[in-house]
Structure 1
């Protein structure tokens, strides 16, 4: 239970930081942020492995760089599902996914002992 709570808090903080850093990312309220965090986590758990499986050949050919596109796709899908949030443009989704990965990595290294 502690890991799930830590996951939700870290992802919520990271998503908020990304929304502050990028003008193309909008999160309207705290409820939208929490909903977005949960939906994004579920999509990462269910949808992302399926997309990664089918995109494995192109990911292999691009030496793993296509995984950024997959992360951006899942993030864009999460923003499209949750009302009160918006993410304009697919390229911005890829950049936001990269920033989210960097922020999550930093926070997990600091808080997950």
Structure 2
């Protein structure tokens, strides 16, 4: 259940990011859903490996390099999806990574279960 929610949140966040940036385009809702699924898979498998390999650079930049990793993963997903998901450049990908991180944080705060 948690994995499905994660995919749906990724789909929503990618769609909202596509509305914010002109260089970040998703063809339709199905493309957003596929990109959300790919983002969940890449975040679960590839991202931890990249974070571990670039840990010295991440520590040196006080964590800012994580946005570069996230932007590179977004570019990878756009490349895999072809024309259904287009990012104009690496600068747009970095800005989109920042917006996606902010939106994910806001959504996780809203959907956080209340413990009594």
Superposition TM-score, scaled by structure 1 size? 0.93
Matches within 5 A, 1:12-51: 12-51=11-50
Secondary structure at 1:82 match in 2: helix
Task: Note the C-alpha offset of 1:63.
Answer: 1.1
**How many pairs align?**
112
Q: Quick one: distance in 2 between partners of 1:6 and 1:44?
A: 14
Distance 1:18 1:61 in 2: 29
CA RMSD of aligned residues (A): 1.0
Q: Which runs of 4+ in 1 moved over 6 A?
A: none
Segments of 5+ residues of structure 1 without an aligned counterpart are: none
Cα separation, 2, equivalents of 1:38 and 1:44 = 10
Instruction: Provide the rounded CA distance (Å) in 2 between the counterparts of 1:40 and 1:5.
Output: 12
Q: What's the TM-score, normalizing by structure 2?
A: 0.91
